[in-house]
Amino acid sequence: VEQGDAPRLTALMEPLHPADIADLLEQLDQGPRHRLIALYGREFDGEILSELDDSIREDVIGALAPDVLTDAVRELESDDVVDLLEYLDEPTQEAILEVLEASDRVAVERAMAWPDQSAGRLMQREVVTAPERWTVGDAIDHLRASDDLPDQFYHVVLVDPRHRPVGHVTLGKLMAADRVTPLADLVEPSFRTIPATQDEEDVAYAFNQYHLISAPVVDDAGRLVGVITIDDAMIVMNEENEEDLLLLAGVGDESIADRTLQIARQRFPWLLVNLGTAILASVVISQFDEVLAALVALAVLMPIVASMGGNAATQSMTVAVRGLATRDLTGNNALRVLRREVVAAGINGAVFAVIMGVIGTIWFGLPMLGVVLGAAMVINLLVAGLAGVLVPLTLDRLGIDPALASGAFVTTVTDVVGFFAFLGLAAIVLL
Amino acid sequence: VEQGDAPRLTALMEPLHPADIADLLEQLDQGPRHRLIALYGREFDGEILSELDDSIREDVIGALAPDVLTDAVRELESDDVVDLLEYLDEPTQEAILEVLEASDRVAVERAMAWPDQSAGRLMQREVVTAPERWTVGDAIDHLRASDDLPDQFYHVVLVDPRHRPVGHVTLGKLMAADRVTPLADLVEPSFRTIPATQDEEDVAYAFNQYHLISAPVVDDAGRLVGVITIDDAMIVMNEENEEDLLLLAGVGDESIADRTLQIARQRFPWLLVNLGTAILASVVISQFDEVLAALVALAVLMPIVASMGGNAATQSMTVAVRGLATRDLTGNNALRVLRREVVAAGINGAVFAVIMGVIGTIWFGLPMLGVVLGAAMVINLLVAGLAGVLVPLTLDRLGIDPALASGAFVTTVTDVVGFFAFLGLAAIVLL
């Protein structure tokens, strides 16, 4: 396909959704990607830009011919342009703002005035409103008379004389009701407004928790400034979930389209932190070099204690981090969750202590080695349960994303405690 | 509040959304939870049951008085009842089916005939349809004449004479258009149908990828059987993301409301697998007991090599597992991603080899020990990048959820390779 046959390429790409074309561009290397864009030429749709991953969006914009870019951007709704601009550098932002028509540019610039990742950035500005005293008939006549209704809308928002939203009516109810019914009789019980400065993560939480379909956005004075719909909230929720997953694994904001050097550079700091904690664990081990020299079996078995503690801690920690993200773990039940994690870890610790005690005894023929191994296992799993909950909770209290930093702290604790408990007990009991 | 003052409790709970009441019940211990339910009594709303986590739903249903349960279940729409039944045991299912009215019971039983976690289970059966040849006026008159429109609907689905969906029109467009406009002129370009047997994970993917708001569900013959709306897809997506996050950490389907013994039992198998892999690593170490006895510094440093490998592997693996879940990692770019991960791991490996080489040399005054440490580091990080991508890809090919089993495999590989490379090189070079 890539042999310069532009009409054939266009024919092949025609049935594809912009999101699929964006995925295709993300999967290509830079060279073929630019050739494809050049060939595709004027057919390039603005929505493809919206669908692209941040990491290659700038690259694609740079590869577009200026007139193609102008057409593509002008096709987009103003909230999509805002979304597009958010992750671009200044010069590219300016270039795009310049090609917009004046009215769109004002709308976009006003949206960009809201904080990063806030409801104000996420919302669309076009809202269908009706005065709160109108009847169904008034609203329908008004809708049929307007000629620039938004592409997608699901509710008519009722506003008071000061343009503050007081309720909303679904289009379905509007359709089904008598013309004389007051709109105020049809409002949805699930109505909620969202402050424009609210973080988009909290917006996504509200949509998911209360099954909202759309919600009006208000400024500090409570006046209607826009509306957020569930499809935008779904995208945010998916991104936040992805972020937590990657952060917990020590991967930053990374995508499958990133280049090798970028990847290596982004992962380096996490590995460096891990190196620091690993060296700390080694320092603990080095305190016991005489014990190790006297009994090599200790060196053979000690990674088991550390590894089991690390695993148990990761389990507790992940449940705690997820609980914090979904607000299922709160100040009210923190103590109960902590107690439960520690007791559960203690139960498993006791079981594994017996298993390992037996294995250690048989393997090296030293019953006391088995006892030491079992005791260290119980201690380390208890500490794992404790640290797995306390570390994320503490980070959250300090205003740090618990997904970001919990892993390093928690495994440091279990490594250090594991080696110290095992080798320390061995030094006392076996020598 | 819990001192038996029912009117006061009811007054306090009144302003709460059912989802918040469900969260409250999840956060309580079983004793207080039952007392609260008994006090709350007849006010108990069916929607609270829908919002409850699976883990305590059965407990709450058991605690409800029979007449309260009957009222609560009868209030629900049939798709919510299906959702409720999905995770209950047989006797509880039967008990709930019995209290339903006959027509609802048939609807629920028909939905339960679709496979677990399929689109058929997720959909609601009530769809607003119109023959494809109707005009806007026909549709509006029909809507206004019907008296049992669904609570929430966003599209009118056009069907052919054999009841196969051919397109859909948003209510907004219907409102704005002239009465004489044919409905067929207003259909949305984003229209897609969903097979009833499709897995709900794929349904959520389609909604997210193509920004669907609602999509008709069809049976094998292409006939319309129901509709899925974006709010249901959002819930599924959130659950799938949560499942991946927990599985990667070696935690099964677990919630903050689970009890201690349940938790301990659920986590046990994962820890047991980890114990197996840790013992495997110990067996590798035990092959080098003479080397370790000769040079205790090796025992001090060897956890660093294993830990760095494990971390790098977790990074690559998490990116790969997420890529598979979002379909960004496919057969087409697998080789490119693999190459990139290995090269990125190699670059970081080289940097850390130098750092650790220097630290090892200074710490123990043995330059050759530093060289061995650095070389083992490079080898293990390369293997980490390789295993981090290959293991999830292979599991995915075999039809196993890569989030489920990748972790254990990958860290086994890096532990074994790390210890073997470090101690093996040391045996050759230093003795």
Tell me, yes or no, if B365 comes closer than 8 A to chain A by beta carbon: no
**pLDDT value of residue B202:** 92
CA distance B269 to B204: 30
Angle of CA points B31, B36, B39, to nearest 5°: 130
Q: Within its chain, how far is the Cα of A273 from the centroid?
A: 22
User: Who has greater pLDDT, B245 or A431?
Assistant: B245
**pLDDT value of residue B75:** 79
CA distance A415 to A376: 12
**A interface test, pick of B209, B248, B280, B300 with most A CB neighbours within 10 Å:** B300
Three-state secondary structure readout of chain B = CCCCCHHHHHHHHCCCCHHHHHHHHHHCCHHHHHHHHHHHHHHCCHHHHHHCCHHHHHHHHHHCCHHHHHHHHHHCCHHHHHHHHHCCCHHHHHHHHHHCCHHHHHHHHHHHCCCCCEHHHHCECCCCEEECCCEHHHHHHHHHHCCCCCCCCCEEEEECCCCCEEEEEEHHHHHHCCCCCEHHHHCCCCCCCEECCCEHHHHHHHHHHHCCCEEEEECCCCCEEEEEEHHHHHHHHHHHHHHHHHHHCCCCCCCCCCCHHHHHHHHHHHHHHHHHHHHHHHHHHHCCHHHHHHCHHHHHHHHHHHHHHHHHHHHHHHHHHHHHHCCCCCCCCHHHHHHHHHHHHHHHHHHHHHHHHHHHHHHHCCHHHHHHHHHHHHHHHHHHHHHHHHHHHHHHHCCCCHHHHHHHHHHHHHHHHHHHHHHHHHHHHHC
Question: Min CA distance, B36 vs chain A (Å)?
Answer: 16
**pLDDT value of residue A345:** 93
Tell me, yes or no, if B238 comes closer than 8 A to chain A by beta carbon: yes
Domains and CATH numbers, chain A: 6-113 (1.25.60.10), 129-248 (3.10.580.10), 260-430 (1.10.357.20)
* pLDDT tens for each residue of A376-416: 999 999 999 999 999 999 999 998 888 887 888 888 899 99
Helix A296-325 and helix A402-430, axial crossing angle in degrees, nearest 10: 150
Tell me, yes or no, if B124 comes closer than 8 A to chain A by beta carbon: no
Strands A155-159, A165-170: pairing kind: antiparallel
Of A243, A400, A252, A406, residue with least CA distance to A315: A406
Tell me, yes or no, if A350 comes closer than 8 A to chain B by beta carbon: no
Tell me, yes or no, if A348 comes closer than 8 A to chain B by beta carbon: yes
Number of neighbours of residue A106 by Cβ within 10 angstroms = 12
> Which residues in A lie closer than 8 A to residue B292 (C-beta atoms)?
292, 296, 299-300
Number of neighbours of residue A115 by Cβ within 10 angstroms = 13
**B304 contacts A259? CB cut-off 8 A:** no
**A interface test, pick of B210, B296, B302, B343 with most A CB neighbours within 10 Å:** B296
CB A93 within 8 Å of CB A126: no
Question: Residue A1: pLDDT above 60?
Answer: no
Give percent of chain B with pLDDT exceeding 70.
99
> Which residues in A lie closer than 8 A to residue B79 (C-beta atoms)?
none
**What is the four-CA torsion angle of B388, B267, A366, B292, rounded to 10 degrees?**
20
* pLDDT tens for each residue of A162-203: 999 999 999 988 888 888 999 999 998 888 999 999 999 999
Question: Min CA distance, A384 vs chain B (Å)?
Answer: 13
**What is the four-CA torsion angle of B391, B395, B398, B399, rounded to 10 degrees?**
-160
> Which residues in A lie closer than 8 A to residue B345 (C-beta atoms)?
264
Tell me, yes or no, if B267 comes closer than 8 A to chain A by beta carbon: yes
**B244 contacts A248? CB cut-off 8 A:** no
**B274 contacts A344? CB cut-off 8 A:** no
**B17 contacts A209? CB cut-off 8 A:** yes
Give me the residue from A256, A271, A286 closest to B312, CB to CB. A271
**B304 contacts A306? CB cut-off 8 A:** no
> Which residues in B lie closer than 8 A to residue A312 (C-beta atoms)?
267, 271
Q: What is the ipTM of this complex?
A: 0.84
Query: Tokens standing for B417?
Result: 């390779």
* pLDDT tens for each residue of B317-331: 999 998 898 888 888
Query: Tokens standing for A58?
Result: 């700038």
**A237 contacts B242? CB cut-off 8 A:** no
Per-residue confidence at B4, pLDDT binned at 50, 70, 90? low
Interface of A with B in 177-216 (CB under 8 A): 190, 207-211, 213
**pLDDT value of residue B421:** 95
Q: What is the mean pLDDT of residues B20-33?
A: 83
Tell me, yes or no, if A330 comes closer than 8 A to chain B by beta carbon: yes
Question: Min CA distance, A264 vs chain B (Å)?
Answer: 5
Interface of B with A in 45-104 (CB under 8 A): none
Of A425, A3, A224, residue with least CA distance to A214: A224
**pLDDT value of residue B317:** 92
Mean pLDDT of chain A: 87
Question: Residue B1: pLDDT above 60?
Answer: no
Strands B129-131, A224-229: pairing kind: unpaired
Q: What is the mean pLDDT of residues B329-342?
A: 88
Question: Min CA distance, A241 vs chain B (Å)?
Answer: 7
For residue A210, the chain B residue with the least C-alpha distance is: B19
Per-residue confidence at B3, pLDDT binned at 50, 70, 90? low
* pLDDT tens for each residue of A353-384: 999 999 989 999 989 999 999 999 999 999 99
Tell me, yes or no, if B248 comes closer than 8 A to chain A by beta carbon: yes
For residue A178, the chain B residue with the least C-alpha distance is: B144
**B211 contacts A250? CB cut-off 8 A:** no
* pLDDT tens for each residue of B235-288: 899 988 988 888 888 887 777 667 888 888 889 998 999 999 999 999 999 999
Placement of tokens 């601009």 in the chain: A85
Of B50, B35, B328, residue with least CA distance to A53: B328
Give me the residue from B149, B242, B315 closest to A251, CB to CB. B315
Number of neighbours of residue A428 by Cβ within 10 angstroms = 10
Per-residue confidence at B423, pLDDT binned at 50, 70, 90? very high
Mean pLDDT of chain B: 87
Three-state secondary structure readout of chain A = CCCCCHHHHHHHHCCCCHHHHHHHHHHCCHHHHHHHHHHHHHHCCHHHHHHCCHHHHHHHHHHCCHHHHHHHHHHCCHHHHHHHHHCCCHHHHHHHHHHCCHHHHHHHHHHHCCCCCEHHHHCECCCCEEECCCEHHHHHHHHHHCCCCCCCCCEEEEECCCCCEEEEEEHHHHHHCCCCCEHHHHCCCCCCCEECCCEHHHHHHHHHHHCCCEEEEECCCCCEEEEEEHHHHHHHHHHHHHHHHHHHCCCCCCCCCCCHHHHHHHHHHHHHHHHHHHHHHHHHHHCCHHHHHHCHHHHHHHHHHHHHHHHHHHHHHHHHHHHHHCCCCCCCCHHHHHHHHHHHHHHHHHHHHHHHHHHHHHHHCCHHHHHHHHHHHHHHHHHHHHHHHHHHHHHHHCCCCHHHHHHHHHHHHHHHHHHHHHHHHHHHHHC
Three-state secondary structure readout of A75-98 = HCCHHHHHHHHHCCCHHHHHHHHH
**B249 contacts A248? CB cut-off 8 A:** yes
> Which residues in B lie closer than 8 A to residue A213 (C-beta atoms)?
152, 154, 230-231
**B23 contacts A270? CB cut-off 8 A:** no
Query: How many residue pairs bridge chain A and chain B with CB atoms within 8 Å of each other?
Result: 320
Tell me, yes or no, if A287 comes closer than 8 A to chain B by beta carbon: no
Question: Residue A300: pLDDT above 60?
Answer: yes
Number of neighbours of residue B221 by Cβ within 10 angstroms = 9
Query: Tokens standing for A309?
Result: 């503690």
For residue B155, the chain A residue with the least C-alpha distance is: A172
Give just the sign of the alpha carbon dihedral B273, B326, A252, A264: positive
CB B281 within 8 Å of CB B274: no
**B359 contacts A254? CB cut-off 8 A:** no
Q: Is residue A399 left, alpha or beta, with left meaning phi > 0 and alpha meaning psi from -120 to 50?
A: left
**A233 contacts B328? CB cut-off 8 A:** no
Interface of B with A in 377-406 (CB under 8 A): none
Query: Which of A225-234, A279-288, B21-30, B286-295 has the least mean pLDDT?
Result: B21-30
Of B225, B391, B413, B232, residue with least CA distance to B318: B391
Question: Residue B376: pLDDT above 60?
Answer: yes
Query: Tokens standing for A154?
Result: 């699901």
**A314 contacts B259? CB cut-off 8 A:** no
CA distance B22 to B32: 14
> Which residues in A lie closer than 8 A to residue B154 (C-beta atoms)?
154, 171-172, 213
Of B354, B360, B352, B353, residue with least CA distance to B300: B360
Tell me, yes or no, if B314 comes closer than 8 A to chain A by beta carbon: yes
Q: What is the mean pLDDT of residues B144-169?
A: 88
> Which residues in A lie closer than 8 A to residue B149 (C-beta atoms)?
172, 175-176
> Which residues in B lie closer than 8 A to residue A348 (C-beta atoms)?
264, 267-268, 271
> Which residues in B lie closer than 8 A to residue A285 (C-beta atoms)?
299-300, 303
CA distance B20 to B318: 33
* pLDDT tens for each residue of A83-121: 888 777 787 788 788 888 887 888 888 888 888 889 998
* pLDDT tens for each residue of A196-250: 999 999 999 999 888 888 999 999 999 999 999 998 899 899 988 988 888 888 8
Q: What is the mean pLDDT of residues A26-31?
A: 81
CA distance B321 to B400: 12
Tell me, yes or no, if A140 comes closer than 8 A to chain B by beta carbon: yes
> Which residues in B lie closer than 8 A to residue A286 (C-beta atoms)?
300
**B275 contacts A328? CB cut-off 8 A:** no
CA distance B85 to B80: 9
Give percent of chain A with pLDDT exceeding 90.
45
